[in-house]
Amino acid sequence: MRQRLLKLVPPLLAILVLAALASAVWAAWLGWDQHRDVHPDGSTTGPYEAWQVVGLVLTLLALVYSAASRRYIAGAVLGTTVGLTAAAYYDWSDDSSGLFMVGVGMVMVGSLVVTATISAVIASVKRDGR
């Protein structure tokens, strides 16, 4: 019984660590930029710039690669998805339009699909020894 419980610790720890890292990476790349840019014609953009999102994606890709190559597939997929979803919810929950949950849902589904696909590819490549 104790052996089974000890075998569960590394995968659960991987999920928790990756969730915390994904939230921290969100805060580092996107959390500090909260204002929208107003253009002369009155249109607004933002609050994030393209380079911030690219930086977030590349940093997360490195984290997912690291976990998936070590066979922590659940950590790579679930940890990253939970961390990004929680960060998006926290960051966007003060939206006055009430539509922030649509964005949070899109972040959740998108990160789940992308991390699962990337993790599966990395795991299969590592398994084949390439």
Check if the beta carbon of residue 22 is closer than 8 Å to that of residue 79: yes
Backbone angles phi, psi at 44, to 5 degrees: -125, 150
| Mean pLDDT of the region 33-47 | 75
Tell me the three state secondary structure of residue 44.
Answer: strand
- Which has the closest alpha carbon to 115: 34, 18, 37? 18
Asked if pLDDT for residue 46 goes beyond 90, the answer is: no
| Mean pLDDT of the region 18-32 | 94
Predicted pLDDT at 2: 67
- Which has the closest alpha carbon to 79: 27, 115, 28? 115
pLDDT digits (tens, 9 = 90+) for 77-120: 999 999 999 999 999 888 888 789 999 999 999 999 999 999 99
Predicted pLDDT at 54: 96
Give the HSE-up count for residue 114: Cα atoms under 13 Å, Cβ half-sphere.
Answer: 15
Task: Give me the helices (H) in 1-130, please.
Answer: 2-26, 50-69, 73-74, 80-92, 100-128
Is the backbone of residue 129 left (phi > 0), alpha (psi -120 to 50) or beta?
Answer: left
Positive or negative, the CA dihedral 48, 50, 55, 58 is positive
Predicted pLDDT at 129: 60
